[in-house]
Structure 1
Amino acid sequence: MAGAAEAALLLTWGANSYGQLGLGHKNDVLVPEELEDFPVCLLSIRSITGGGGHSAITTGDGQVLSCGCNSFGQLGLPWVSRSCQIPQQIEAFAEKVVHVAAGLRHALAATEGGLVFQWGTGMASQAKRACRGKMISSFLAAKEPCVVTGLEDVKVKRVTAGSYHSVSLTDGVLYVWGSNKHGQLASQEVFIAEPQKIEAHVFSGEKVEEVWSGWTHLVAKTETAKVFTWGRADYGQLGRSIQEGQVQVLPDAPDTCAQHTWSIPISLPCLTGASQIACGSEHNLAVTGSQCYSWGWNEHGMCGNGTEKNVHSPKPIRALHSAKPVLIGCGAGHSMTLCETRRQTLQK
């Protein structure tokens, strides 16, 4: 008699010039492609994420695997000089990792005990300029996982990262550090050297339950399942239209903070209740019901719709219509989803 057995697929697509898709080659992929012979059981995977040219995965037993570019130490693999095309385990953690995030040239991890680690030197040059000759924190210039100072009195549950900034989430509260050029950290400072709290009034007094980050935009879901987006919108990455004057930046001033209007989160009704969201550099994925949606920058096909045209509002990915998304992740120009399928087996 025929029965069904659960199986899992790990699929990646988009930009792949450093092997960040983990497929063993460096060719761009326009539609989802399955990773074969993965080094751990796919059903044990708990989170997947991508950065500028690197990806990271966590498992149920607290392992972290990474692949792609390592020119700035962003893989946390000191024995890898430039890049690797197959995921490898980071061995520097003394306790289980529960969440991981990847920025442009850095990465973050939150452990079971609530600590946050950061590695990769992508934020170091901006930190040195902003600190004007003062010593910068070790975690801003580490090529292996290093504890982030300033969070000793809180227990972090989740982390996320942008191009040159980092975000952590405790019990309903966001802490941010790094570059604030576009006001994405809800502060008037140009660079925040150590974790700084974002007050609840920014989200209409609600607690934040989840947070995600693009290069210079952020997305947060509150306790009532409202989804807020704020930051840049050049490629449709906010999933909504922007009124003239709502988003402005001081021209030709790379080291100055954007005007305060950039840092005002606004809710996006069409995503209310989304179970998962992931941000790439300028594109996003979301799971609503049993469908996976994408929107934003699409130059490398990372929206998964078979084209390279930008998508300005959330649209379902038709290539995934027969599979139920379990986990999603985005890199700068690539996307990933772990899908649940039903495969027929013979039953004795």
Structure 2
Amino acid sequence: MAASSGSLLAWGANSFGQLALGHTRDCLIPEVVDHPPEGIVSLAGGAGHTTLLTESGKVFMCGSNFKGQLGLGHTQNMYRLVEVPDLPRIVKVTCGWDHTLAITDKGHLFSWGSNMFGQLAQNARRPARIPAFPSGQKVVDIAAGLRHSLAVTEDGRVWSWGSGVKGQLGRFDDQARAGGQAGAELRVVPEKSDQPQPVDFGEETVKIVQAAAGANHSVGLSDEGVVYVWGENKRGQLGEEPSSDSVAKADIIPLPKALDREFFGGRSVLRIHSGWTHMVAMLDDKTVVAWGRNDYGQLGCPTEPEGGDAEAEGEPGEDNGEQSPSKYSCTPIEVPTLQGCSQIACGAEHNLAITEDQVLLAWGWNEHGMCGDARVIDVHTPKKVDTRLGGKPVLIGSGAGHCLALCE
């Protein structure tokens, strides 16, 4: 949805200037961003950086730039929005922890930022094209996790690259078995991949139309409304009961697994969204359901502990401020207040939604004020965010711990 003009609101974590407000103080309620670009059509964020896309195909960014994730050719943080130079016309952009991906109007894929785990498929502090896809195949969707990247090509294939130690790349590497029988091979998940490779759906004919990514898991939505998941399942986010085994590999699903319609009560999925360790789906009857981790209230309703542990994940941004035992649901839970909502956005452990009557709701992790209620107490059910400074919300976006809303 585009707005030729409107007020841009920002709130939440702001250590790196990712709110585009000219300072680095966290904001517990929405504040107005001065002079946003005209015609904003999408809002997105990473750990500490923000990206805005306009209807003319221009990209504006701000915030953390230590790894060149703003695409400006330097590593200086920016506290105000700056246009990324020398880009072709962009139609979609997304952020990982400290990297950025963008699709051009010709279906080409560009990347920039950190490539420590191969998530760029190149080294680039300025935007550069990834030429790895088959000739003639356009990229139609992208997603970025903590340290891995996903792309969907127009033929319905999913490509993955970056970190793969938790199975998030959706394929095996065949390695010679040391000391074993001649020719014997051991199937292991790749530690990382510095080039896009197809996700292994086996013999099944699947056409994926949308991708999403969590911290260490990946998701694909097919043209038939079936969700496929792979990667880490430690919080039940892949629809299986997590193991009590402390071994790291115990909760890895290395190849895509279908969450069939019975998982959703016989319904198809229209749209899938992912936080670091939880998922939110819009179903074909406009019901919204959520599953996965819930100790910050990210599922939109209180649940009793079903197992798991309180051990920190050790991943940046995932467990900041954890004060309660781990809670989760490995089956979808309906969020009644979101029936028929027009938009959903997931942060690391919080969420935003716009209702049918243009009310902005937020819930989940609130340590830096991302729920916009002037407090830092986690919010366990969707709660209205006051947008009167800007007007009616028409577009939302989220980073790991910060929020954006375009209003009219």
Q: Under TM normalisation by the shorter chain, which class is it? A: 0.7 to 0.9
Q: CA deviation at 1:77?
A: 6.6
* C-alpha distance 112-27 of structure 1, shift in aligned 2 (>3 A): farther
Structure 1 gaps, min length 5: 81-87, 342-348
Match of residue 78 from structure 1: 123
Q: 2:46–2:96: 8 Å Cα contact kept in structure 1?
A: no
**For 2:193, which of 139, 142, 154 is the aligned residue?**
142
Q: In 2, Cα distance between the equivalents of 1:73 and 1:322? A: 40
Task: State the SS of the aligned residue for 1:104.
Answer: coil
Q: In 2, Cα distance between the equivalents of 1:126 and 1:236? A: 25
Q: In 2, Cα distance between the equivalents of 1:153 and 1:67? A: 29
Q: In 2, Cα distance between the equivalents of 1:302 and 1:178? A: 27
Q: Which has the higher contact order (CA 8 A, sep 6+)?
A: 1
**For 1:271, which of 338, 343, 351 is the aligned residue?**
338
In the alignment, structure 1 residue 219 sits paired with structure 2 residue 270? no
Task: State the SS of the aligned residue for 2:165.
Answer: helix
Q: 2:291–2:333: 8 Å Cα contact kept in structure 1?
A: yes
Report the residue type matching 1:7 in the other structure.
Answer: S
Moved more, 93-102 or 277-286: 93-102
Q: CA deviation at 1:180?
A: 0.8
In the alignment, structure 1 residue 303 sits paired with structure 2 residue 341? no
In the alignment, structure 1 residue 104 sits paired with structure 2 residue 146? yes
Q: 1:279–1:330: 8 Å Cα contact kept in structure 2?
A: yes
Report the residue type matching 1:297 in the other structure.
Answer: W
**For 2:206, which of 154, 159, 164 is the aligned residue?**
154
Match of residue 347 from structure 2: 280
Q: Deviations over 1:130-173 (max 9, x none)?
A: 979756566x7235655434388322222211111011111210
Match of residue 249 from structure 1: 308
Q: In 1, Cα distance between the equivalents of 2:16 and 2:334? A: 35
Report the residue type matching 1:308 in the other structure.
Answer: V
* C-alpha distance 250-76 of structure 1, shift in aligned 2 (>3 A): same
Matches within 5 A, 1:120-269: 120-121=162-163, 124-127=164-167, 134=186, 141-143=192-194, 146-150=197-201, 153-170=205-222, 171-187=224-240, 190-242=251-303, 244-245=304-305, 247-249=306-308, 262-269=329-336
Size of the aligned set, in residue pairs, is 315
Q: In 1, Cα distance between the equivalents of 2:6 and 2:19? A: 16
Task: State the SS of the aligned residue for 2:369.
Answer: coil
Task: State the SS of the aligned residue for 2:291.
Answer: strand
Q: 2:16–2:49: 8 Å Cα contact kept in structure 1?
A: yes
Q: 2:15–2:26: 8 Å Cα contact kept in structure 1?
A: no
TM-score for both structures, normalised by structure 2: 0.65
Q: In 2, Cα distance between the equivalents of 1:99 and 1:271? A: 25
Task: State the SS of the aligned residue for 1:308.
Answer: coil
How large is the Cα RMSD of the aligned pairs? 3.8
Moved more, 59-68 or 321-330: 59-68
Q: Deviations over 1:165-189 (max 9, x none)?
A: 0111112100111101122101367
Q: In 2, Cα distance between the equivalents of 1:220 and 1:252? A: 27
Q: CA deviation at 1:49?
A: 3.3
Q: In 2, Cα distance between the equivalents of 1:22 and 1:228? A: 29
Report the residue type matching 1:273 in the other structure.
Answer: G
Return the structure number with greater helix share.
1
Q: CA deviation at 1:54?
A: 5.0
Match of residue 64 from structure 1: 93
In the alignment, structure 1 residue 91 sits paired with structure 2 residue 129? yes
